[in-house]
Amino acid sequence: MNLEEALVGPVELVAPRLLGAFLTHAGVTVRLTEVEAYGGAADPGSHAYRGPTGRNQVMFGPAGHLYVYFTYGMHTCANVVCGPEGDASATLLRAGEVVSGIEQARERRPGARDRDLARGPARLCRALDIRLDDNGAGLCGDDFSLSLPETPPTDVATGPRVGLRGAPERPWRFWASGEPSVSTYRPAKGLARPS
């Protein structure tokens, strides 16, 4: 089974398969320790909930590509597309441990402790030098390489996704228990109501 085939399926089942996977780009390799699933039209927390747009088009397939977006006007976040073509779903890469190219990752994240180099989705993108123009990049090419673990972690924890207002209760955040690189859980803040 090739990578694209291995990534197609219900996103809540595919996402935990990415734990322990190795993602390499720009001289750095990260072992993924935390991910979050987003289910497209059936998921109010997903960028694809209301259908295709110029921003989210990559989420609609094919699987095995990066969906990269800019958030809060300053951070880049990356997802692995994992649905069959035409059915949007993607898994946010939330955190990982830098296992190769640590000096380059340190240069990209000056002052960060080694456990924090890729701890959080924006930090992971910075450590791997993933940029907005990497949106749509294949994960089996010369620039990016994603290899799934032969033996996925057995001690996988699950809980609510971080910072969401849409479907925050879904336990679609997955992480390898006991990993120091896993990010801190933060629930969404409520919207301030005018008095």
Per-residue pLDDT of 95-115, as tens digits, reads 999 999 999 999 999 999 999
Quick one: three-class SS letters along 141-160? Answer: CCCEEEECCCCCCCCEEEEC
The neighbour count for residue 19, using CB atoms within 10 Å, is 23
Please answer whether residues 38 and 85 qualify as being in contact, where contact means their C-beta atoms are separated by less than 8 angstroms: no
pLDDT recorded at residue 194: 58
Tens digit of each residue's pLDDT (9 = 90 or more) over 25-77:
999 999 999 999 999 888 998 999 998 888 899 999 899 999 999 987 779 99
Please answer whether residues 170 and 160 qualify as being in contact, where contact means their C-beta atoms are separated by less than 8 angstroms: yes
Average pLDDT over residues 116-141: 96
192 pLDDT more than 70 = no
- In the chain the domains, ranked by start, together with CATH numbers, are 3-176 (3.10.300.10)
- pTM for the predicted model, two decimal places: 0.92
Length of the chain: 195
CA distance 165 to 184: 17
pLDDT recorded at residue 115: 96
- Torsions phi, psi for 21 (to 5 deg): -70, 155
Tens digit of each residue's pLDDT (9 = 90 or more) over 139-183:
998 899 999 998 878 899 999 998 887 887 899 999 999 999 998
Query: Percent of the chain, pLDDT > 70?
Result: 96
Q: Where are the alpha helices (DSSP H) in 66-141?
A: 102-108, 121-128
CA distance 168 to 188: 8
Query: Percent of the chain, pLDDT > 90?
Result: 73
